[in-house]
Chain A
Amino acid sequence: MIKRKVAEERRIILKHADDPNYSNGIGCYLREGGYKILKKSFKLKPEQIGEEVMKSGVRGRGGAGFPAGMKWKFLDRKSGKPIYLICNADESEPGTFKDRQIIHKDPHQLIEGMMIAAYAIQAKQAFIYIRAEFFEGAKILDRAILEAKEKGFCGKNILGTDYSCDLVVHRGAGAYICGEETGLIESLEGKRPNPRIKPPYFPAVLGLYQCPTIVNNVETLCNVRHIMEMGGDAFSQIGKPNNTGTRIWCVSGHVRNPGYFEFECGALTMGEMIYDVCGGLEKGRSLQAIIPGGSSAKVLRADERFKGKLKDGSEFDWGINDIPLDFDGPMAAGSMSGSGGIIVMDDTVDMVEAMANVNAFYAHESCGQCTPCREGVLWMRKISQRMCSGQAREEDPDLLLSVANQIEGRTICAFGEAAAWPTQSFVSKFKDDFIRKAKKPTKKKSPLQLI
């Protein structure tokens, strides 16, 4: 057997993230060639930047994986209304901690990316919506923006041109739903973050103050800077077709060396990530399950086989370790790469408890606007919590499935799916564990309490 060499990390966005000599101040950023790409981009016409982003094929890094260039194309430029740019720095998907590194360690990279994007879409004003738990992060960004303004990279008459765009840091207040772009917009308008229904409220047409608005993730906006540095075509050569660029994967849970790692899309498989990059599992443990893209993604069982046809027509037959880490791989395996948060669970985990933990999260975070979600997540939490308190019944798995199925597709925003998918996948893939819980209401061997 030929052992394939595991790919090396390719750090483009996190290039300086763990460099002890690299500070988050502007002096350091400028020494490393910072804001050169902004200057280069401002010599182009705004639409030329849009074309480069389109050519790059970069897909949104926030979770949905929608092509960013396409999103920009949808922007309603004819309305005559002001255009807004919002950076989604809410980073609220459990299992994800990539944007934290960028914001705290390399804030100017984000600001440069944002100002290029703002110029490209001709935004009148730009906002960074940051989760309130990043107290220091908000201060770092405030300071960085001030530094950038002093140098003319942001604010009035950027680089001496006619173009002005102010950049404002806006703090959330601990609500997961603000990561949903229309909920975020409501929150930024000073309201409860109840998501808006699409259509008609596509942010690119009717966004902030009912004006055309682009909402992009932190990592996506950083990518804009790198796309403009190397050109859209060169960027599209990184990774794989339809999965271009690098991705920052965040690994948490039961691996020896969890952390954040930036790889070219598709450069490695799930197995290589867990065993080679993250040092494998603790001694004597074996893999039980993986949630590949933040807690909303459907769980994958360690002994599952994934079969089907890829978009290019080729057939695949994968074990969990063979799943390529890009956008399409986890999707082909029936789940999603989401925000890149890989949560690993070894054989000590009680899967009913794990699901109950996830359900408690969604029950806490539903905005309560749509009845199926508000009531459904509440009952899923109650049922799964009861199951973990020695009161499990054999009909519970079916009951849980029925509740989850009645949420999916019946809500204004994708939170409904995000909340239903974990339950649907845990119950159908680990049904034996659920039945066993009812027959013998004791804990599995795990010493951990998960709920």
Chain B
Amino acid sequence: MNLSKDTLEKIDAVISRYPEKRSASLMVIHLVQDELGAIDLEACEWIAQKLELQPINVRELITFYPMLREQPWGKKHVRVCRTLPCALRGSYATCKTLEKKLGVKEGHVSENGEYSLEFMECLADCGEGPVVMVGEETYENVDCKEAEKMADLLMKDKLEGSKKFVSYERNLVTDPPSKN
């Protein structure tokens, strides 16, 4: 297991927050998955050892939680909300458009490993559906026409910083990071 120093430090910090080590499982898995893209058997064993658990205690989480992965998603992972409020505003068409444009079936990774698409359950932004997440950013009201433009920008690597598509997160009013 080759984890960066940064991740290892974060893992130790996270474990120390809980009264019992096992509680840190999900947070540690997130940290490892963020770096490796997925939790394979080796990673499972490493995490289990770190938390003084059996590998099955970690493995049973990976196989249960929808966002934990045994194989990595593509470099750019796109999530489309499938659930009723978004579907009522056209999320099935949005997902189909993205499938076509990105050349990848939902639930899969493109052959070059560049894109992956996931048609997933409620993203909790139902008033602004169809909701699409690219990486960690949430884009609202992405109907199939918008999805086409969005995919074009994504494929040109110009989605981030685009004026047309401003994510929910980038729209938030945040203080600048303090200087010290």
Q: Interface of A with B (CB < 8 Å)?
A: 19-25, 27-28, 82, 91-97, 99-100, 104-105, 125, 131-136, 140, 166, 168, 170-176, 187-193, 209, 250-254, 258-260, 291, 295, 341, 343, 345, 349, 354, 357-358, 360-361, 364-365, 367, 448-451
Contacts and interface: CB of A to CB of B under 8 A. Distances in A.
Contacts, number: 174
20 contacts: A22-B173, A82-B19, A94-B84, A100-B125, A140-B172, A170-B23, A174-B67, A187-B26, A189-B20, A190-B20, A252-B88, A252-B126, A254-B88, A291-B84, A343-B84, A349-B88, A357-B82, A357-B87, A361-B83, A448-B90
Interface residues of B, number: 52
A450 B88 contact: yes
B92 interface: yes
A173 B123 contact: no
B85 interface: yes
Given A23-B173, A295-B83, A100 B90 contact: no
A288 to B, nearest CB: 11
A105 B172 CA distance: 7
Contacts of B89: 253
A361 B122 contact: yes
In order of increasing CB-CB distance, the 10 nearest A-B pairs are: A25-B175, A173-B65, A190-B25, A174-B67, A135-B136, A252-B85, A190-B22, A252-B126, A174-B66, A449-B92
A273 to B, nearest CB: 13
Contact of B173 (A20, A94, A209): A20
Contacts of B30: 132, 171, 173
Contacts of A253: 84-85, 88-89
B128 interface: yes
Nearest to B168: A104
B127 interface: yes
A354 B124 contact: no
Contacts of A251: 127
Contacts of A170: 23, 26-27
B20 A250 contact: no
Given A93-B122, A134-B124, A174-B65, 8 more contacts: A21-B173, A97-B127, A104-B172, A173-B26, A175-B65, A190-B23, A191-B57, A364-B66
